[in-house]
Structure 1
């Protein structure tokens, strides 16, 4: 059965490239019947910049159909205020971005959209607005009702799932405990199955250089990571490691593994982003609905110039639709 619900794109920080890449994506074939959640003013400014000849159509909900093929549907979230200046951190922009996310979560949890594709937000702007979350993943987990979530970054060559996400490195080391390892390994396994991989091969990266070198460079591998891998294997998960972080991604890229569980943010994201920001997609695992996003930030330095590439957002739309259809047939 074909999924008839639309995808929703949250516009991201309106001072960044989110609205313009959202509009660019909406004018292409990958958008299907998607709609944008955000502020009318920010989307209208983006349409004038990158899609002259298209019209903004404000709708009350996803059920409202486009007036014509060249109308971009916008579901207003929060106050209908003027668009902020490009490239500037502000509480105004942070609140607008958060309002769009919260409205998207509400629609997704109610089953009114097939999934969320979230354009980039700015963490400083969120903080300036008093939003008590460091990023999308944490906000989605809290308001989405998820017991445990993990960030998966994926492109055509590798997938990685993070044990810890947006925390200082010293805090990431402390938080990468047995329970966090188990949660990430399980979600990596489940996430690969959602992509249609029947028997996922999960590689777990070590925390220390050379995966601790038998305890010479740290004992986390011996005392925490290896026991978690053994426990996951006892549950029937094909997990292995801990593998050295500097070589495990090369092994995954050549087909030895289906996914790599990385211990902290940069260990997992650098390999994916090195292969090209336009190819990477962020998937939040563990939510009761589909959420994907492009693998790049707000790009304040080029916002408003009309040169930002929508390729990663388009890849996120494509992946969200794939995951939504897989959920529908599961």
Structure 2
């Protein structure tokens, strides 16, 4: 491991390498080689040093000649206990990624960096290793004793417009969503979304999606909009009179103006600064369709900035060195930007 200077870490990104059976190490090394990466960033990798060197050698063999030499990188070495087969997740890969994230979190809490970037993990592998968390977001909330929120943010490469979607609920079964959607939760999520959007626009436009088809059609296709969402929105408007909030908007049309703003040469005024989705896939399907390679999973509510690519471990291409690093680059750049 290289010497790690702790006196001034405002540019240091602590990077947990994710599941070693996936594409985490590959996309991190590719991202560090990219000309699109903010050159102020100083990476501190948390993972298996031997695995990093092996991945580097294989990338060179596959023609990626500009990959940074691991000898020149700062690495916290937590060796793999057993050999990992690319594309095959098991308790050993789950145990490794869990340990790496724990150590990376401790480093940032100790002030060794200004933000945390996490490569994808396998929830199945975590469960096989005995770690019953539904994701990295939930573990980070437990480690810091903080109430977290999952937001996906992306910057359009065509016009620089920032696209934000916050999830009211995350990794829970579909049948349980109604039990989680309370006045307190939705109000808190709207406040959280507003605070984030105000980093970029003093008076942002907020949209909130409906739960039912056609946003309930005035109660004919579900009563959640009439009984829960509309009263909450009306009360929130009174508490935030300078903010325009539209909704509940039918989910099948809620992201249309965002898709339009994303693809235009110049943005339009009717595109929202932030959208509140009520459950995981309601928000993630349009986010990935609109901005898959650019979107970044950002955890709000932590005492530090944490970002991650918006995709998973990509086990089907692990070890084939075909993975795109675009979302990891975006995760690193956004972590540095938000922290500084």
The 5-angstrom pairing of residues 146-161 of structure 1 reads 146=146, 148-157=147-156, 158-161=163-166
Shift of 1:83: 4.4
Matched, 1:12 2:12: no
The 5-angstrom pairing of residues 252-271 of structure 1 reads 252-253=258-259, 254=261, 255-271=270-286
Matched, 1:321 2:330: no
Cα distance between partner residues in 1 of 2:303 and 2:255: 29
Match of 1:198 in 2: 202
Task: Summarize the Cα distance change of 1:83–1:197 in structure 2 as closer, same or farther, 3 Å threshold.
Answer: farther
Query: Which of residues 67, 70, 87 in structure 2 aligns to 1:56?
Result: 70
- Give yes or no for contact 1:16–1:87 (8 Å, CA) kept in 2: yes
Runs of 4+ residues over 6 Å off in structure 1: none
DSSP-derived class of the 2:28 partner: helix
Cα distance between partner residues in 2 of 1:284 and 1:82: 31
Match of 1:229 in 2: 233
Cα distance between partner residues in 2 of 1:211 and 1:87: 40
Cα distance between partner residues in 2 of 1:246 and 1:301: 30
TM-score after normalising by structure 1: 0.88
Cα distance between partner residues in 2 of 1:315 and 1:41: 26
Task: Summarize the Cα distance change of 1:3–1:75 in structure 2 as closer, same or farther, 3 Å threshold.
Answer: closer
Cα distance between partner residues in 2 of 1:227 and 1:38: 48
Cα distance between partner residues in 2 of 1:119 and 1:168: 24
Note the aligned Cα RMSD (angstroms): 1.9
Aligned pair count reads 308
TM-score after normalising by structure 2: 0.85
* Unaligned runs of at least 5 residues, structure 2: 1-7, 157-162, 262-269
- Give yes or no for contact 1:163–1:184 (8 Å, CA) kept in 2: yes
Q: Give CA deviations for 1:167-226 in whole Å, capped at 9, x if unaligned.
A: 1111123212222211211111112123x2212221110000111111111111112112
* Unaligned runs of at least 5 residues, structure 1: 58-70, 326-330
Shift of 1:3: 6.9
Match of 1:185 in 2: 190
Cα distance between partner residues in 2 of 1:80 and 1:119: 16
